[in-house]
Amino acid sequence: MSKKISVKVCLGTTCFVMGSANLQELIEIVPAKYGEKVEVSGVPCLGLCSIDWEFSKAPYVKVDEDIIKEATVEKVLSAIDNKLKEC
Amino acid sequence: MAINTPKQTSHLKREILVRLIRSFLSENFEESTRLIPYDMRPKGSEVPYRCCIYKERAILRDRAVAGLGFSIEETDDSTLLSELAHKALDRKEPEENPLTVLTTACKGCVPARIYVTDLCQGCVARPCVNTCKFGAISVKNGKSVIDPEKCKNCGMCAQVCPYQAITKIIVPCESACPVGAITKGDDGHAKIDFSKCISCGKCVSACPFGAVHEKSQIIDVLKAIKSGKKVIAMLAPAIMGQLPCTPKQLREAILKLGFSDVYEVAQGADVTTKNESKEFVERLENGAEFMTTSCCAGYNELIAKHLPEIKPFVSDTKTPMYYTAEIVKKDHPDAVTVFFSPCVAKRREALQNPNVDYVLNYEEVGAWFIALNIQVDSCGESDFKTEASAEGRNYAVTGGVAKAVQTLLPEEIPAHPVIIDGLNKQSIRDLKRYAKNGVCDIGNLIEVMACQGGCLGGNATVNSYKAATKQLGAYVNESKSIKDTENDTVQK
């Protein structure tokens, strides 16, 4: 088992209003499901919404270096599953 | 349905609001507004939800009409968004009915009825046939068949089927409306009867196609600020659980939007608590069996339109919004006042109160921060001039109002609170019964909240219910009790 997968849920204002408010549950779900293998946290603005004014693609979540646009709980969990398969 | 489930429809509504605000702030408001549907669905772009790009644009256009504050029902399809943007600038006051239905977005759901699915096994026991009081079910070709002429949609057959093969098809808006105000019209699309509507906003939350919109007043507020008027924000308690920042940072963030000052409505809630607890004692001493609270705007509309018989039992104390607006207008007679609301019902209350000029909901406030690129958690902190109590700040949570009133009651007159956590057909029947009997069998202080979970469950909230409760709870816990605060601003 290599290093932990890191999941960063953007809780900047744009992401929060556009939907990451509802992604906060990941912070409880992920450790319960994956234990030590995945590290999850809510983080301040990742700056992704201001590139080309892409606020409409918020909320953003980063799984390691991969950016998930219009993130949902389901999208994030499946991205983690894919990462774990690669390991 | 769980409170505040994540929805793509909210995403769309908020995106429209951000774009409208950006358009207002741009060099050419009218033209930028006209282009919103095209910016969101440019030529060749994906069509995520509807049959074609033209339908998507038509619906986005209608969402923008509501965002500009107009009724879709009363707006001609041929009117350009640019014309409406112009008209919005000329508007002197908000339109009366706060909701509008987008026929373009409405699916025209199949009518509500009981439906036998293919899972029916044509069993020998036939509990459906035996249970139906109306003789509407018979078995034909080995399957149960419902006679629509006789069926009363009671749903008993669905309950008794051993295979769960009978289902009740619902129309989400109709099913969510506690007073039968939204129904499918002759054309199959939803229509609101405003003589019945209590503006509770349940249809807004329930429609999976996002076809019911609040008519926004955001342009009116932006205009007031741009014209250099003194515009003052009044924050309903629920907002303290809505955005990722501290209440003091939120105050600063709202000042950055251009507001001159920011008041907590919890300050007015403290006046409500003081008056309402006195009133409770008086009423019980005069022989009343129970009293209901009076701060929820949806409940007050319910009383006026559907439940006049409960009026004698409803507290005469005014709402926190009323007292706060009174204080603000006294401090600043020349100011434009804006109430920051978790729900649509407060728009109706504001229309009836000359001290409240406009209402913004939390989706609109959030969209405004996005449009101006304000990071609320990077803002500085500043204090509210009047510190509200823990009890006042807790009004937004179900049970909070009754608890506040209880805090100030003398020991010899204890309250036995009954909490109506959300208006629905059942809780309205209960209230009717209490009014008819003149007594409530399970308590004497009835707190009524139109939304499940209280204001934190309002239709225009942004944060998830659980997180909002936690965040607001932390703020309440660090606040002083109303018993210990001395700023007695009671005025009745």
DSSP category for residue B40: H
pLDDT at residue B412 tops 60: yes
Q: Per the domain annotation, does B483 fall within a domain?
A: no
B5: chain A residues, CB-CB within 8 Å: 22
- Indicate the residue of A11, A13, A24 with minimum beta-carbon distance to B369: A13
Quickly tell me which residue has 């890191």 as its tokens.
A6
Q: Per the domain annotation, does B3 fall within a domain?
A: no
What domain range includes position B117? 113-169
* CATH number of residue B150's parent domain: 3.30.70.20
The stretch B458-470 carries a mean pLDDT of: 95
Do B255 and B334 belong to one domain? yes
Within 8 A by CB and 6+ apart from B63, the residues are B12, B13, B16, B102, B105, B210, B213
Do B203 and B59 belong to one domain? yes
**Does the beta carbon of B23 lie under 8 angstroms from any beta carbon of chain A?**
no
pLDDT in tens, A18-77: 999 999 999 999 999 999 899 999 999 999 988 866 899 999 999 999 999 999 999 999
- Indicate the residue of A19, A24, A25 with minimum beta-carbon distance to B11: A19
- Indicate the residue of A13, A24, A25 with minimum beta-carbon distance to B370: A13
Structure tokens at B370: 């996005």
**Does the beta carbon of B14 lie under 8 angstroms from any beta carbon of chain A?**
yes
Do B320 and B380 belong to one domain? yes
- Indicate the residue of B6, B243, B378 with minimum beta-carbon distance to A19: B6
Do B292 and B323 belong to one domain? yes
pLDDT at residue B4 tops 90: no
Do B120 and B42 belong to one domain? no
Do B165 and B189 belong to one domain? no
SS3 category, A37: helix
Quickly tell me which residue has 């508007």 as its tokens.
B91
Instruction: List, as one string, the DSSP characters of B110-174.
Output: PPPEEEE-TT----SS-HHHHH-TT--EEEETTEEEE-TTT-----HHHHH-TT--EEEE--HHH
Interchain proximity A13–B4, CB inside 8 Å: no
**Does the beta carbon of B276 lie under 8 angstroms from any beta carbon of chain A?**
no
Do B227 and B210 belong to one domain? no
Fold of A5-86: Glutaredoxin (3.40.30)
What is the distance between the terminal CA atoms of chain A, rounded to a whole angstrom?
A: 7
CB atoms within 10 A of CB B27: 7
ipTM for the complex shown: 0.93
If pLDDT is split at 50, 70 and 90, which confidence band does B1 have?
very low
Interchain proximity A18–B14, CB inside 8 Å: yes
pLDDT at residue B491 tops 60: no
Q: What is the per-residue pLDDT for B106?
A: 95
Rg (CA), chain B: 24
pLDDT in tens, B129-163: 999 999 999 999 999 999 999 999 899 999 999 99
Q: Per the domain annotation, does B363 fall within a domain?
A: yes
Do B149 and B230 belong to one domain? no
Split into its structural domains, chain B has a count of: 3
Do B265 and B402 belong to one domain? yes
Q: How far apart are CA B264 and CA B247, in angstroms?
A: 10
The stretch B399-422 carries a mean pLDDT of: 96
Cis upstream peptide for B162 (omega within 30°): no
A22: chain B residues, CB-CB within 8 Å: 4-6, 464
What is the nearest CA distance from A14 to chain B, expressed in angstroms?
5
pLDDT in tens, B417-442: 999 999 999 999 999 999 999 999 99
Tell me how far CA of residue B103 lies from CA of B15, B75, B176, B464, in angstroms: 20, 12, 18, 29
Give the domain ranges of chain A.
5-86
Mutate to test the interface with B, among A10, A11, A16, A17 (most CBs of B within 10 A): A17
B192 bridge partner residues = B182
Interchain proximity B467–A16, CB inside 8 Å: no
Q: How far apart are CA B481 and CA B390, in angstroms?
A: 5
Mean pLDDT of all residues in chain B? 95
Q: Per the domain annotation, does B1 fall within a domain?
A: no
If pLDDT is split at 50, 70 and 90, which confidence band does B5 have?
low
Q: Give the number of residues written for chain A.
A: 87
Do B370 and B411 belong to one domain? yes
* CATH number of residue B331's parent domain: 3.40.950.10
